[in-house]
Chains A and B, each alone.
Chain A
Amino acid sequence: MNIKEYIKNNIVLLDGGMGTLLQERGLGSGEFPELWNITHPSDITEIHTEYYNAGSNIVLTNTFGANRLKFDSETLDKIICSAVGNAKEAKKRSQGSREKYIALDIGPTGKLLAPFGDLDFEEAVSVFSETVRAGVKYGVDLIFIETMNDSYETKAALLAAKENSNLPVFVTNAYGSDGKLMTGADPHSMVAMLEGMGADAIGVNCSFGPDALEPVVREYLKYASVPVIFKPNAGMPKVENGKTVYDVMPDKFSESVAGMMQMGIKVAGGCCGTTPEYIRALACIKNGICPSDNKSKCETVISSYTHAISFGDKPLLIGERINPTGKKAFKEAIRNNDIGYILKEGIRQQECGVDVLDVNVGLPEIDEVGFLTRAVCELQSVCDLPLQIDTANYSAMESAVRRYNGKPLINSVNGKEESMRSIFPIAKKYGGVVIALTLDENGIPDTSEKRVEIAKKILKTASEYGIEKKDIIFDPLALTVSADKNAADVTLSTVEAIRKDLGCHTSLGISNVSFGLPVRDMINATYFTMALTKGLSAAIMNPYSNEMMKAYRTYMVLAGLDDNCEKYIGFASSVQLSAVTEPVKTEKANSNSAEGLYDAITKGMKSEAAAITEQLVLITDPLEIVQSDIIPALDSVGKGFEDKKIFLPQLLMSAEAAKAAFEVIKREMLKSTDKDAAGKMDFVIATVRGDIHDIGKNIVKLLLENYGFRVTDLGRDVKPEVIVETAKKLHAPVVGLSALMTTTVPAMAETIRLIKKEAPWCKVVVGGAVLTQEYADSIGADKYARDAMETVRYAEQIESLMKQKKGG
């Protein structure tokens, strides 16, 4: 019987620990246990046999760390071949006629995935794929991914299992004492992602004893629709008489696990410190327990790499600002590959209180597949909100959803055959909740009934792809009320009908309704409130709009969804503050208030600098403000820093204040021209390959931008070729490189060599904690800069040399 069949009516027993048993048989510290499959096959077979005899239905092959990052391909193949062979031999030798299976065990790679580590996501998928393919070749019955403490690596492993086999896949994660994975995910978000991707059973292993893990397992039982796995440690280790023992004994262990079986656990076993004795005790106690089936939870849920958000608890806000439509500065940023602009919009919307970020970077002239994927990854490195991936380009959609860490919103599908054929397979494979627009080949129907008909058609087709109703949200399309006076009403009736008659959730792009009308915010806000009263589940909206936020916050209070009116009160106080015309906040009364822009910048007062500039641009030419206030202030602070009268934090505070002023000025200038008029020299900056820290580089970048240089920031851990290519493309006169440790200086040297060869005009300035003048000389750098100001001065020097050349 297939394990998926067997699990329906039975509690499945796993095996227990392997490591401790191998140590008892002589495995040395630092020795690879996986090699024992080849060197000590009889030991491994004996251990598996003992587990089968104790009552295990599934044994895990001794392949926890069997991957090509640790072993070369030939050895890897041998390890997996022997490991599966050992398990098969044990199955043959073991007693009893119960169902027995062999699972290919897959543990973490031991590396952390980018952006926090240096293992690329696709590389991780490929590493796991090789292991999976070997397991399939040698005949395992299922794949068991375990002890993962990073959601992203878990996704890579599960994807590899799904792409390279048709076997059932079980997945367990290792949680910390805070009830989260090391990289931040809570159980709810893991359930959302793993079920979305089609894992066959999910749960918890390692970390602690059964009692300490109980709260995490309860969360799984609360949210999961698939069978839940529980595989705890035998408590914590200690040494007694020179021997390692664990503090939870078999009888206590089995009692605790049995308690969880009664709660609904379908798969149980042991991790570190457990032995065949523990499994025997479990087998005994399990006989008295009737397996209860985990009910389907029908939850419409999305997740990020930290948390899940469920539709229906309260209406959700989806921030619409990451979208170039109608935004000059945004388009300019996309064309310049300026990802920082997008990140800033993400963070700012989060600070306004949105629950989800819509991400749309569609411009005809860019490589949308690459840029959207990059935007999604970079946003996920700075912001923990779930994302709604918004594109009409199917390849871009697949690429971004594949890389997304969690279960995203997919925006969107519609009733057209071609749309459903393209989007549903993506949603099925990677998981996701799909926004479905109620339109089809015949356009948008003008009655509510016909829109609901399209919704039904979409649901029917989705189910043919194996997508459940809970994973579809309908957008019944807000149309322009100035073009058709009934437009708003038809949409609202559709919202109500879909919620009540189909039992599905809805989402609406609010602002379409007000096209062509003056002061659109007022219409939008009232429409938003009307939709909310009809049961709208989510709105794509502008969180910077006071009117919209007012509508939302007041609705939440009146609908009883804001406990103690807490959110409303916080919001109300900010509204009052912004109503005060005086830019200096009262709470800062005891700080020196700024007398002018120069003063605000030298004192490092960011919001004051921006506020004063807002006033100044009304009466002064922007360039005049730069010349008479900002540049002198920056020079004064810069000089103070060079003279060691001012230190790094003050320098940064002033630099950020100047940047805030510049942002106002830039916006003003974009109003009159399409291009950023700064027009100073290009400067390419990057942290070299292998170096994953970039605070120093970011400081240098900030100052260079203040001095007007056009900085192209390539980020962290950048390959030499990418740096050289960019320098060539821009014909950049200077490249700045940063390295933090001695171990990354070779990558810096390699980058310099390549620049000198392929872009000989380009000067290279280097900096970073370990660098010295001698070091910089030895790797062929043109300049060693001790700090950010020195880099600025060097850039100025190069620029004036260039001008002289041009002049002469």
Chain B
Amino acid sequence: MSSIIYLKEYASLPPVDIGELFRYSGLGKSEPSYEFLSEVDEIIKDAEGKLTFKICYRSVDIDYSDNCIMLENLRSDSGLLKRRLKNSSKAIVFAATVGMWIDRKIIRYGSVSPLKSLIYEALGNERIEALCDEFENDMRKKYQYTTDRFSPGYGDFDIGYQRDIFRMLDCQRKIGLTLNESLMMSPSKSVTAIMGIEKCGDDGEKTGKCEGCSLLNCTYRIND
């Protein structure tokens, strides 16, 4: 097995999904006001060309021992992870980030305009998800059958596995992504995740983004 870490950088992504941005900003089902919309427009324009869309990834073998699933040094008994990867013998482990710029903006407006901070925050969430979606699509094109991505912190897959993924991917050097003592990532608009490569499609297991999360009352929860 090669231990090569690949780098992928997207020059651009599909346009911002305003509905998602509204959802992340906590707008609920209400109508955005003119003032809010113009703030959002201004911020989307400000961010044009400022974000970087970087991913580093590897493919690793999946093993099992003593009721645990193993991806190299990552060893977990998470039932949800095992279920997600049950038809896979290999997985893509990746880390993605949209870069530092948006963190600076969120902090810049923290004490001046929390509303602007909130919109930058929501934009960052929308963009990092869009980046992961784009990458997933590319991997799906390459491997035909892949599972949806699964991240440390989802359900019973402990957030502490973030450390193992960072070790596997040399994130700091490859894409400038760091992890602090509390397992928070900087830049904050970043994702680490695992997706299984399957031999054949599995129609029964495709579930929504929020499946398995224990925060049932979360404002952002999607029930589909």
Contacts and interface: CB of A to CB of B under 8 A. Distances in A.
Interface of A: 23, 29-30, 108, 110-112, 115-118, 147, 149, 174, 176-178, 182-184, 206, 236-239, 242-244, 339-340, 343-344, 347, 381-384, 588, 590-592, 603-606, 644, 646-650, 652-653, 655-656, 690-695, 698-699, 701-702, 713, 740-744, 747, 769-770
B36 interface: yes
Contact of B110 (A174, A605, A648, A695): A695
A29 B168 contact: yes
Contacts of B34: 588, 590-592
Nearest to A770: B215
A693 B184 contact: yes
B115 A691 contact: no
Interface stretch (B134-142, B170-178, B194-202): B170-178
21 contacts: A29-B73, A111-B178, A118-B181, A149-B176, A236-B7, A237-B5, A382-B109, A383-B108, A592-B34, A604-B35, A648-B26, A649-B32, A650-B36, A652-B114, A652-B115, A653-B33, A692-B188, A695-B117, A699-B118, A743-B182, A744-B184
B223 interface: no
Contact of B111 (A112, A184, A691, A698): A698
In the complex, which of the residues B119, B121, B176 has the most CB atoms of chain A within 10 Å of its own CB atom? B176
Given A177-B9, A178-B52, A650-B36, A147 B173 contact: yes
B110 A184 contact: no
Interface in B67-126: 72-73, 99-101, 103-104, 106-115, 117-119, 121
Given A603-B35, A648-B27, A698 B117 contact: yes
A644 B101 CA distance: 33
Interface in B43-79: 52, 54, 72-73
B186 A347 contact: no
Nearest to B28: A647
Given A648-B118, A702-B114, A243 B2 contact: yes
Contact of B108 (A23, A382, A644, A769): A382
A108 B172 contact: yes
Chain A interface helix/strand/loop/mixed: loop
Contacts of A178: 52
A698 B28 contact: no
Given A23-B3, A30-B72, A177-B9, A343 B112 contact: yes
A340 B111 contact: yes
Given A604-B35, A653-B115, 19 more contacts: A23-B3, A29-B3, A29-B72, A30-B73, A108-B173, A177-B9, A244-B2, A340-B111, A344-B112, A590-B34, A604-B33, A604-B36, A606-B35, A690-B184, A691-B182, A692-B182, A693-B188, A695-B118, A701-B114
B28 A117 contact: no
A147 B172 CA distance: 10
A84 B72 CA distance: 32
Given A108-B172, A182-B100, A695-B110, A649 B118 contact: yes
Contacts of A606: 35
Given A591-B35, A649-B25, A695 B121 contact: yes
In the complex, which of the residues A108, A184, A652 has the most CB atoms of chain B within 10 Å of its own CB atom? A652
B114 A118 contact: no
Contacts of B28: 644, 647
In the complex, which of the residues A112, A655, A747 has the most CB atoms of chain B within 10 Å of its own CB atom? A112
Contact of B186 (A117, A384, A644, A646): A117
Contact of A656 (B3, B25, B33, B115): B115
B186 A652 contact: no
B222 to A, nearest CB: 16
Contacts of B9: 177
A771 to B, nearest CB: 11
B52 A694 contact: no
A779 to B, nearest CB: 16
B108 to A, nearest CB: 4
Contacts of B182: 118, 690-692, 741, 743-744, 747
In the complex, which of the residues A239, A743, A769 has the most CB atoms of chain B within 10 Å of its own CB atom? A743
B167 interface: yes
A236 B32 CA distance: 46
Pairs A-B, 9 closest by C-beta atoms: A182-B176, A690-B182, A648-B26, A340-B111, A652-B115, A591-B34, A112-B178, A118-B180, A382-B108
Nearest to A245: B4
Contacts of A693: 184, 188
A788 to B, nearest CB: 9
Contacts of A383: 108
A546 to B, nearest CB: 22
A116 B103 contact: yes
Contacts of B26: 647-649
Interface string B1-19: 0111111010000000000
A692 B183 contact: no
Nearest to B72: A29
A176 B112 contact: no
A182 B97 CA distance: 11
A236 B8 CA distance: 11
A678 B213 CA distance: 44
A115 B172 contact: no
B8 to A, nearest CB: 10
B2 A112 contact: no
B176 A742 contact: no
Contacts of B113: 656
Interface in B140-187: 159, 167-168, 172-173, 176, 178, 180-184, 186-187
Contacts of B111: 339-340, 343-344, 382, 698, 713
A381 B117 CA distance: 14
Nearest to B120: A695
B35 A117 contact: no
Contacts of B7: 236
Given A646-B30, A647-B26, A649-B27, A699 B183 contact: no
A698 B180 CA distance: 22
Contact of B2 (A177, A242, A646, A647): A242
In the complex, which of the residues A177, A588, A695 has the most CB atoms of chain B within 10 Å of its own CB atom? A695
A206 B26 CA distance: 41
Nearest to A344: B112
Given A176-B176, A652-B114, A743-B183, A647 B168 contact: no
Contact of B180 (A117, A176, A656): A117
Contact of B4 (A206, A244, A656, A698): A244
Nearest to B73: A30
A179 to B, nearest CB: 11
Nearest to B217: A772
Nearest to A650: B33
Contacts of A29: 3, 72-73, 168
Contact of B107 (A115, A149, A649): A115
Nearest to B180: A118
